Amino acid sequence: MASRKIQEINAGSMADIAFLLLIFFLVATTMNVDSGIQRVLPALQEEDVKPTDVKERNVLLVYVNKNSEILVGGKRTDISLLKDEVKNFVSNPANDPNMPEKEETEIELIGKFMVSKGVVSLQNDRATPYDMYIQVQNELTRAFHELRDDVSMMKFNKKFMDLDEDQRKAVQKAVPQSISEAEPRNTTGGK
């Protein structure tokens, strides 16, 4: 008996099909983008440097618990009110003796200016949802940006982002962004 020769499968177009499938999946697939906070971290300090003492009246404690509840100065507040509460605390417009002190400072391009010694101390629980933590960080940053815009408009008739570099530095000295982050609390039990 004569054996029949088995026909070969033409594999020439298999590479084309694989390439087209690869292109399809690359175009059709969406990638998750991580969200985060853009921050410039302070320079590393030497170990023998002791932290400066800050008077209690100059510190506003903002605490975010694991249930996404925000406490400002021990009182529960809503995220929508946080920015305005921080602005009011830092600026201390009525010179309230229970709120931050102000120090008259000579600032180039601005002149004498009452600079607040207010510090916002942010603390959260280890189980605080990351999304809520980001929202609180954004509100704190917005408060300082708006305070800087107010000074920029008052002294230079421009928004902070429209100022030149020297003017920006002057406004940053007038409104320092003083946000301190404390070690997260561990209220979920265990160590």
> Shortest CA distance to 65 belongs to which of 145, 22, 127, 6?
127
The verdict on residue 50 lying in a domain is no
Q: Does residue 20 lie within any of the structural domains?
A: no
pLDDT tens-digit readout, 133-148: 989 999 999 999 999 9
What is the distance between the alpha carbons of residues 63 and 68, in angstroms, rounded to a whole number?
Answer: 10
pLDDT at residue 53 greater than cutoff 90? no
Q: Is residue 167 part of a domain?
A: yes
Q: Is residue 106 part of a domain?
A: yes
Q: Report the chain's mean pLDDT, rounded to a whole number.
A: 86
Report, as an integer, the average pLDDT of 37-62: 71
Would you say residue 189 lies in a domain?
no
> Cα angle vertex 67, ends 63, 72, to 5°?
25
Phi then psi dihedrals of residue 179, to 5 deg: -120, 120
For the question of whether the overall pTM of this predicted structure is more than 0.85, the answer is no
- Domain span at residue 113 reads 56-181
Q: What is the CATH number of the domain that holds 60?
A: 3.30.420.270
Asked if residue 61 belongs to a domain, the reply is yes
- pLDDT band of residue 55 (cuts 50, 70, 90) is confident
What angle, rounded to 10 degrees, do the helices at 165-174 and 130-156 form? Answer: 110
Give a yes or no: residue 26 inside a domain.
no
pLDDT at 42 over 60: no
Predicted confidence at residue 183, as pLDDT, reads 80
Higher pLDDT among residues 157 and 10, named by residue: 157
**Digit-coded pLDDT (tens) for 78-93:** 999 999 999 999 999 8
Residue 37 lies in a domain: no
Residue 161 scores a pLDDT above 70 = yes
Please tell me the total count of domains within the chain: 1
